[in-house]
A = this chain, B = another copy of it.
């Protein structure tokens, strides 16, 4: 099938494009290169060097003989978005093209507004483009497990049957997102559900857990195909950051007491989930939600696992939590939708973590130690009165 991957220059967009291409699909890749701009703004970079968007596309052509049709532009530009959809005419659109870091959205007012505008307007334009070009195009949208927060009841896959005063309805699962970034994804989910209900579009919303790992069958084929590996406190996700800290001989920085539990997924499972969602589309008018995660861990557990597996001395350090979040809490997530479509998860094992150590060791010279420490505080917007 023809699949257009939005945000195809990013950490997960790039390996997803290659995985779908290798699986025999015709792939278009679209990006506004914003992720590289955040690096410049924050003065950090991917631990693993990455090629330019153009060069990695050429490298894939050289290595696999397969073409990726490229579109460089911004989804908030409606004419560009509709034009790209009309030109590529996909069967499915995979949408990774959003600002995806919670801390980035919490830097200040301007970053909160940028994150919500970029994400919500980009997705709105995409919904209009699909409705105009071909309402049958299946939208596969990346959401996050962080949309749910940590409710005291089981987390279902997007919908919940609620009985109240003796009457029952199937309703969108009530969310409790933890940052303006997470909120932007909730706004998106609500807008997409409406477009399915009112226009009969078909969409799959993938609420993804925290991704770890850096290598897939395709990116491993050549250094020029590598994807990003972020370790900074703004864009680096927790398990990747622990691995890097271990190799550098730095303490693993756990926020608060570390009893927070989060859903996780390995990068090879992420790309496979996207393939499964594309090849098994939602029905016309259906807003289908999957929880794209394979296991849950307490943050402290992850730190301990990395510390035990790493063949050197590793300390675990507890920092004052820069976020506002519940620490001790209930967490039980239904995530059977993707296994039902055929996902065979790669579960977190010592072997998998170990495979990251040599990748990190190769590039320790590129690390900026200061970037590892959190510098965005959730209560940053609150200044004492009179200041």
Q: List residues of A whose CB falls within 8 A of some B CB.
A: 78, 108-110, 112-113, 116-117, 120-121, 124-125, 128, 131-132, 134-135, 151-154, 156, 160, 162-165, 167-169, 171-180, 183, 186-187, 190-191, 194, 197-200, 324, 330, 378-379, 381-383, 385
Contacts and interface: CB of A to CB of B under 8 A. Distances in A.
B132 A198 contact: no
B135 A124 contact: no
Nearest first, the 6 closest Cβ-Cβ pairs linking A and B are: A171-B174, A152-B169, A109-B128, A153-B164, A131-B381, A198-B324
Given A162-B153, A171-B151, A198 B378 contact: yes
A175 to B, nearest CB: 7
A186 B190 contact: yes
A160 to B, nearest CB: 7
Given A162-B153, A330-B167, A174 B173 contact: yes
Given A153-B165, A198-B324, A112 B124 contact: yes
Contacts of A383: 131-132
A111 to B, nearest CB: 11
A116 B187 CA distance: 10
Contacts of A176: 171-172, 197
A240 to B, nearest CB: 26
A110 B132 CA distance: 14
B153 A124 contact: no
Contacts of A165: 153-154
A169 B194 contact: no
Number of copies of this chain in the oligomer?
Answer: 2
Given A128-B381, A160-B162, A187-B187, 19 more contacts: A78-B110, A113-B121, A113-B124, A116-B187, A117-B117, A117-B121, A131-B381, A132-B381, A151-B171, A153-B168, A154-B165, A167-B330, A171-B174, A178-B198, A180-B191, A183-B187, A198-B324, A199-B379, A199-B381
B128 A124 contact: no
A31 B162 CA distance: 41
Contacts of A324: 197-198
Contact of A124 (B109, B125, B197, B378): B109
A73 to B, nearest CB: 16
Contacts of A177: 190, 194
Nearest to A201: B382
A187 B180 CA distance: 11
Given A112-B124, A199-B381, A381-B128, A194 B172 contact: no
Given A113-B125, A125-B109, A169 B198 contact: no
A116 B120 CA distance: 8
Contacts of A108: 128
Contacts of A167: 152-154, 330
Contact of A128 (B112, B175, B385): B112
A164 B175 contact: no
A160 B175 CA distance: 12
16 contacts: A78-B109, A108-B128, A112-B128, A113-B121, A116-B120, A135-B382, A151-B171, A153-B163, A160-B164, A162-B164, A179-B194, A186-B187, A186-B190, A198-B379, A199-B381, A199-B382
Contact of A194 (B121, B151, B171, B180): B180
A277 B184 CA distance: 29
Nearest to A155: B164
